[in-house]
Structure 1
Amino acid sequence: MTEILTLALSAVAVLVSVVAVLYSRNQTRVAAAQLQLAQQIRREGSEPCVMADIVPQRGGSGLLMFRIENVGPSLARDVQFTVSPPLQGGESEEWDQRLARVVARKIPALPPQRHIEWHFAFGPRLFENSSLPRQYTVTVTAAGPFGPMEPLTYDIDLDAIDASAIESGTIEASLAKIADHAKVLGNIPREIRSVADALRERDDT
């Protein structure tokens, strides 16, 4: 009986040991996965992020700009863009070809928060021409502090800014408003003189 009890206790001890080993291995795998995830998050958080977009120029000029910007925290190297179909703003074929050559050129280095932009089109005229492309697919390749990054591919949809993001007030319209206000202000002294003359005539009578 004693031998049976001893064997039973030994079997239980072995089983507990096996369970402990399996649990320890599982905890090790979980810890390794968490460490790998933390390293990946830290790496991605320190890599550059270079984006290209077509945006309205500030100031209400109506111009659309092709803009490249590094919105990440570190230096981007060997930045290369491909745009499909080729950019076509409708201003002139010569300018579209020139812009395509400039955009396709590799950028050796793009510091954080640095941007480069080129004139792409006059917005109102582009949106009136239904034959011009409204969607572009952009692919960006670049290298960060840890070496080459995965290519980034996304779409630019110009319909998203049609009649919404383009400011309606142009520089010319603003200047015209200023000129109108200046005319009104220029008439103020004349009105003051008229009132003063009227008051003097009343006093004389």
Structure 2
Amino acid sequence: MVISDFITISISFLSVIIAGLATLQARTAALAAKQQVEQQRLDYESAQQPYVWADIRPSSIDGQMLQLVVGNSGPTVASNVIIRINPWPDHVERHHQLLIEALERFNKGHASIAPGRELRWNLGVGHELLAGTSKDRLCRVVINASGPFGPVEELSYALDMNDWRGSTGGALGSLWRVEKALDRLTIATAKPRRTEDEDI
């Protein structure tokens, strides 16, 4: 074997190694591109799913009434919405029947909740519900729903009504107090007044 044959064999061998490395790099790039496309598809589907939640919030009308609020903040309709709250949130007796009926419907599965929709049930005024300091008011919320791309990942968290203790309520952004003042003004101006002729 002459030196020229050795050089030719060495160059051929190096060419095979370089081609193998290039093929490996191309496969790695193709796999990364495929994974990126799959991740983008999953991100798109996730962004299009509904986001159903349950919370305890003050009424937007007067800021004093605490309400159980269920809503869908996602961009699509949530279907077969099942919400389990255990134990049921504290509430005053006058709101018991409507609240329990709603919670039982959600335990069985609510047909749908449209995007941006909120459902509200009164629990009671804050000072009625939060009297006393030692009572445990923690409840667990578990939410299941489906969207256009199938079931949404189960959401589970704790709600504690004691978190509202000491907070200030207010009807921010509401014209409720203005409406009530106008009602009183209307009643006051509708009363018959005595004229000067009647005084004579």
Q: Normalised by the shorter chain, which TM-score bucket?
A: 0.7 to 0.9
2:91 and 2:132 map into 1 onto residues whose CA distance is 10
Structure 2: which 5+ runs fail to align?
186-200
- 1:112 aligns with 115
1:154 and 1:123 map into 2 onto residues whose CA distance is 22
The 5 A counterparts of 1:118-129 are 118-129=121-132
Tell me if the contact between 2:61 and 2:171 (Cα under 8 Å) persists in the aligned partners.
no
- 1:201 aligns with none
The 5 A counterparts of 1:157-196 are 157-164=160-167, 166-167=169-170
Aligned-pair Cα RMSD in Å: 2.8
By how many angstroms is 1:178 displaced? 5.4
Residues 134 and 58 of structure 1: CA distance in aligned 2, closer, same or farther (over 3 Å): same
By how many angstroms is 1:2 displaced? 0.7
By how many angstroms is 1:97 displaced? 4.1
Residue from 151, 154, 164 that aligns with 1:151: 154
By how many angstroms is 1:134 displaced? 2.6
Tell me if the contact between 1:87 and 1:100 (Cα under 8 Å) persists in the aligned partners.
no
Which deviates further from its counterpart, 58-67 or 12-21? 58-67
TM-score where L is the length of structure 2: 0.76
- 2:20 aligns with 18
The residue identity in structure 2 corresponding to 1:139 is V
- Kindly, what percent of the aligned residue pairs are identical? 24
By how many angstroms is 1:143 displaced? 0.7
By how many angstroms is 1:110 displaced? 1.1
Cα deviations by residue, 1:61-109 (Å, 9 ceiling, x for unpaired): 5111111111100011100101122222244695464454244242111
1:40 matched to 2:42? The reply is yes
Tell me if the contact between 2:76 and 2:147 (Cα under 8 Å) persists in the aligned partners.
yes
Tell me if the contact between 1:55 and 1:67 (Cα under 8 Å) persists in the aligned partners.
yes
More helix by share: 1
Q: Following TM superposition, where does structure 1 have runs of at least 4 consecutive aligned residues deviating by more than 6 angstroms? A: none
By how many angstroms is 1:152 displaced? 1.1
Residue from 68, 72, 75 that aligns with 1:73: 75
Residue from 126, 141, 144 that aligns with 1:141: 144
Residues 27 and 168 of structure 1: CA distance in aligned 2, closer, same or farther (over 3 Å): closer
The residue identity in structure 1 corresponding to 2:170 is E
Q: Name the count of aligned residue pairs.
A: 177
Structure 1: which 5+ runs fail to align?
183-205
1:38 and 1:61 map into 2 onto residues whose CA distance is 42
Larger radius of gyration: 1
1:33 and 1:84 map into 2 onto residues whose CA distance is 40
Residues 28 and 48 of structure 1: CA distance in aligned 2, closer, same or farther (over 3 Å): same
